[in-house]
Structure 1
């Protein structure tokens, strides 16, 4: 039981962090559990029972994590159960999602904010312009790095 308590404490710490990154609580805990479980896969019921979540919370959490390409399932011959695990390219998909979801903010929102603002506070306008320049630069670097990584590792 002590080991289970340690696991749950770690899942909770990691889950809180994942929530801060925008994940719903159940999905955050499921992802956290799958990151630390040994063996590195669990059934639906094992996830539900370990985290003491409802079937719908587990189902919704798993669906979200599968959509984000962070987890996947496999089956074993002779068993009707699905075993969930961290997808082998989860970290890579996570980085791509950052570029996909955050870039539109700098492309659309910051220029719109600058166009809306008056010239009464040039220091704020300067900060927004620098933020746009910096994030454009960073996203260009991330795009280049992801492309280079894809070519090197023959991804997609």
Structure 2
């Protein structure tokens, strides 16, 4: 697997995109490479060579990506691990992220209970923050359902 200069630029930009979302740059670079590679299921060795990253680092990051549901390991005739992009991976990542909203809301409820008799400004800040996260929590599953319906029409 060899990347052209144009493909390498894309892969590097995907690294920056992933970094922007709080992930590791290497994770984004691997994901970018998997989006455009041919054949679509490179081995760890091929990824490490193409991205000029150690095989150990590729192994660690691909394991995290598999656990997150972004990529999957592909059965191979030899003992080499091969990977490909997981269909619906980003929806799964968002489901996991959205599941953390309950903890945010519980924490903000605790803050509101603690400041039940606080001055108006303190309560207003807490209420505004809680309202935002309550809205996101209520809309999250609706958005994922709408996306699933959208995908059916494509």
Query: What TM-score do the two structures reach when normalised by structure 2?
Result: 0.77
**Native 8 Å contact 1:74 1:82 kept in 2:** yes
Give unmatched runs, 5+ long, in structure 1.
none
1:92 aligns with 2:91: yes
Q: Deviations over 1:64-110 (max 9, x none)?
A: 0011011102124x444332101112022022022123x04422332
| 1:111 match | 109
CA RMSD across the alignment: 2.8
Paired residue secondary structure (2:74): strand
Aligned-residue offset at 1:27: 2.1
1:20 aligns with 2:10: no
Aligned-residue offset at 1:61: 0.3
Distance of aligned partners of 1:81 and 1:110 in 2 relative to their CA distance in 1, 3 Å threshold: same
Aligned-residue offset at 1:23: 1.5
CA–CA distance in structure 2, aligned partners of residues 27 and 110 of structure 1: 32
Q: Deviations over 1:37-75 (max 9, x none)?
A: 233321111110111111211111011001101110212
**Native 8 Å contact 2:43 2:81 kept in 1:** yes
CA–CA distance in structure 1, aligned partners of residues 60 and 71 of structure 2: 13
Aligned-residue offset at 1:32: 2.3
Query: What TM-score do the two structures reach when normalised by structure 1?
Result: 0.76
- The aligned length equals 148
